[in-house]
């Protein structure tokens, strides 16, 4: 066990890695998995047969885009602010519908990855040239601080991919409360929530047999090696997934297969791992209507509509301020 005594850091990546690896139990924040390699691996994950989430939400947007666009539209048009835009594959279904209906709106995709945003901007200019796009690089929380500034007309805040599931319920309530505080009565929140289902289906989605998910999870260690001067031996760590059907919480871990020490040069840190010691890297929360309504109520929001896929695996909810 290490003692956290360092107080100055060159970046938030350094600081968060230091805090996580000197805590007990150890953890790393999932947002740092995403760099150029991490983005590519996640795009591969979304194509895996076991990873049902993308296909289910795509099915929802393909079938219901016209109706969803109608809910989004408002007098004087609106600003569509998407948190965690990614590659925009699903969003483009909705964007094309909005453009086809000649609805007045601006699209502001937000993502922590500048690489993903630049690729999205280029693809949208090619595929939907009529669209007004203003990319916003940064974290959700920094974006939330600026949301209230968009107050000249209706704003629609959108979050696809069940990214809310990366937050524990307490943190999800705080996150939704911040969104609610930035909303007016005319604004709308459109958000995806992965639903509870057969536990094996959930486990398979985060632990595919080809090892793509494992490589994605281990990319955090790759980044520490390349950017912070770490010497993690990636092969000595095992990707492991758990799922608790009672709480609906799926957790990803990296497990040290041996007793070992890892040095991280830029942090001036040596980290000891016991054999089979874990690093918690991600949670993926699953929901039902009761939990979603409870979260909304705690954040002074209300569910006004919802759309689901044919299997009922996934839902996109519309919220308004309570």
Do 299 and 209 lie in one domain? The reply is no
* CATH, residue 307: 3.40.50.150
Amino acid 4: pLDDT: 52
Do 133 and 21 lie in one domain? The reply is no
CA atoms of 240 and 245, how far apart (whole Å): 17
Q: What percent of the chain has pLDDT over 90?
A: 84
Say if CB 293 and CB 314 are below 8 A apart. Answer: no
Express each pLDDT in 41-59 by its tens digit: 998 999 999 999 999 999 9
At 32, list the tokens.
Answer: 């740092």
Mean pLDDT of 3-15: 81
CA-CA-CA-CA torsion sign (231, 234, 238, 244): positive
Do 67 and 189 lie in one domain? The reply is yes
The number of domains in the chain is 2
Question: Does 40 fall in a domain?
Answer: no
CA atoms of 74 and 53, how far apart (whole Å): 30
Query: What does pLDDT average to over the chain?
Result: 93
CA atoms of 189 and 149, how far apart (whole Å): 16
Question: Does 119 fall in a domain?
Answer: yes
Express each pLDDT in 308-322 by its tens digit: 999 999 999 999 999
Question: Which segment, 81-90, 128-137, 265-274, is predicted with the most confidence on average?
Answer: 265-274
Do 186 and 250 lie in one domain? The reply is no
Say if CB 250 and CB 162 are below 8 A apart. Answer: no
* Confidence band, pLDDT 50/70/90 cuts, at residue 1: very low
CA atoms of 250 and 248, how far apart (whole Å): 7
Do 182 and 292 lie in one domain? The reply is yes
Do 171 and 269 lie in one domain? The reply is no
Amino acid 94: pLDDT: 97
pTM over 0.75: yes
Do 77 and 174 lie in one domain? The reply is yes
Do 296 and 153 lie in one domain? The reply is yes
Range of the domain at 224: 12-33+200-285
Question: Does 39 fall in a domain?
Answer: no
* Confidence band, pLDDT 50/70/90 cuts, at residue 87: confident
Helix axes 169-182, 289-298, angle to 10 degrees: 50
Do 163 and 181 lie in one domain? The reply is yes
Do 25 and 146 lie in one domain? The reply is no
Per the listing, tokens 């054999």 go with: 275
């Amino acid at each position: 066990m290490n003692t956290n005594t360092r107080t100055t850091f060159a970046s938030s990546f350094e600081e968060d890695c230091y805090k996580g690896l000197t805590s007990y139990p150890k953890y790393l924040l999932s947002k740092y998995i995403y760099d150029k390699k991490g983005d590519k691996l996640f795009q591969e994950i979304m194509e895996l047969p076991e990873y049902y989430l993308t296909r289910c939400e795509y099915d929802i947007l393909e079938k219901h885009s016209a109706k969803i666009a109608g809910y989004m539209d408002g007098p004087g048009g609106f600003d569509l602010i998407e948190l965690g835009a990614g590659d925009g594959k699903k969003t483009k279904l909705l964007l094309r519908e909005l453009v086809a209906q000649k609805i007045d709106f601006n699209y502001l995709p937000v993502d922590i990855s500048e690489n993903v945003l630049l690729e999205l901007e280029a693809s949208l200019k090619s595929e939907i040239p009529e669209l007004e796009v203003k990319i916003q690089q940064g974290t959700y929380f920094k974006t939330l601080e600026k949301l209230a500034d968009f107050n000249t007309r209706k704003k629609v805040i959108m979050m696809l991919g069940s990214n809310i599931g990366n937050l524990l319920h307490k943190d999800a309530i705080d996150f939704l409360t911040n969104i609610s505080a930035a909303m007016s009565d005319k604004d709308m929140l459109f958000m995806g929530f992965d639903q509870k289902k057969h536990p094996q289906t959930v486990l398979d989605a985060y632990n595919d047999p080809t090892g793509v998910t494992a490589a994605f999870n281990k990319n955090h260690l790759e980044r520490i090696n390349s950017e912070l001067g770490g010497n993690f031996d990636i092969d000595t760590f095992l990707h492991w997934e758990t799922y608790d059907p009672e709480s609906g919480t799926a957790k990803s871990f990296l497990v040290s297969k041996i007793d070992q020490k890892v040095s991280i040069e830029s942090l001036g840190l040596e980290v000891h791992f016991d054999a089979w010691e874990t690093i918690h890297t991600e949670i993926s929360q699953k929901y039902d209507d009761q939990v979603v309504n409870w979260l909304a109520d705690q954040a002074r929001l209300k569910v006004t509509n919802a759309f689901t896929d044919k299997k009922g695996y996934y839902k996109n909810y519309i919220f308004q301020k309570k």
